[in-house]
């Protein structure tokens, strides 16, 4: 796979969870299962862009040029970046799911919050199915909902952000992926992740 200016590396570490929650909410995964038995195999994952357009454009270019067929943003996006992701999706004929982060404006809180852009589903914790794999995107700033999602065993993948540091863990049957920050990394260079659902392999693109 050509990196197109981005370095690639791979890493992964096992993890366990002691938490079990009986009050795990329905993230809409039943509806998602009915809609998503097939779909894109390569998922481009980014997070914590904080409305930095130049850095986000570089991240999106790296993901698309390396074969991303679907995009997931794990929150702290920025309204201008939402529009940029929408434009990228329209240009390349793909779609995106965006989680709402603690630094994002919540729908209804401000009159200026933009409507749902084309090709994008945006929610606090969007659940969806791609290529038969159940996925959840959430920012990860609230430990309890994240712990519920991981402990439930409902999801094949949980995509999260907030820490500005890459992470790859297995919690029971669920793989937790944090792509790090595409704009303001706390550990090394900015990064994004490219997940191949067919092989379960993750390539980390260093920007």
Ordered by start, the domain boundaries in the chain are: 25-206
- How many other C-beta atoms can be found within 10 angstroms of the C-beta atom of residue 95? 19
How confident is the model over 134-155, as a mean pLDDT?
Answer: 94
Residues 97, 121 contacting (CB under 8 angstroms): yes
pLDDT at site 185: 80
How confident is the model over 166-171, as a mean pLDDT?
Answer: 96
Number of H helices, E strands in the chain: 4, 13
CA distances from 176 to 90, 106, 140 (A): 28, 25, 11
Residue range 19-39, pLDDT digits in tens: 333 334 455 555 555 454 556
Task: Indicate the class that CATH gives domain 25-206.
Answer: alpha beta
**Half-sphere exposure at residue 17, Cβ-oriented, CA atoms within 13 angstroms:** 21
How confident is the model over 200-205, as a mean pLDDT?
Answer: 97
All residues at 6 or more sequence positions from 135 whose CB lies less than 8 Å from its CB, including other chains: 43, 72, 97, 127, 128, 129, 155, 156, 157, 158, 159
- Please give the model's pTM, rounded to 2 decimal places: 0.81
Q: Is the pLDDT reported for residue 157 higher than 50?
A: yes
Between 28-42, 95-109, 140-154, the lowest mean confidence (pLDDT) is in: 28-42
Closest by alpha carbon to 98, among 69, 128, 131, 120?
120
């Amino acid at each position: 796979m050509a990196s197109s200016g981005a370095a690639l590396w791979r890493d992964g570490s096992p993890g366990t969870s002691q938490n079990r929650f009986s009050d795990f909410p329905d993230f809409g995964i039943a509806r998602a299962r009915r809609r998503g038995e097939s779909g894109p195999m390569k998922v481009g994952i980014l997070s914590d862009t904080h409305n930095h357009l130049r850095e986000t454009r570089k991240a999106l270019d790296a993901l698309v040029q390396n074969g991303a067929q679907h995009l997931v943003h794990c929150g702290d996006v920025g309204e201008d970046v939402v529009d940029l992701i929408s434009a990228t999706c329209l240009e390349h004929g793909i779609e995106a799911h965006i989680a709402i982060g603690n630094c994002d404006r919540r729908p209804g809180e401000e009159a200026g919050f933009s409507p749902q852009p084309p090709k994008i589903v945006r929610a606090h914790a969007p659940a969806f199915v791609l290529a038969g794999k159940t996925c959840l995107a959430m920012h990860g700033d609230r430990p309890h909902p994240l712990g519920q999602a991981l402990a439930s065993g409902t999801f094949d993948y949980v995509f999260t952000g907030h820490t500005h540091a890459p992470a790859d863990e297995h919690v029971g049957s669920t793989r937790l992926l944090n792509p790090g920050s595409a704009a303001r990394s706390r550990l090394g260079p900015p990064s994004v992740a490219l997940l191949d659902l067919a092989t379960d392999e993750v390539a980390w693109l260093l920007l």
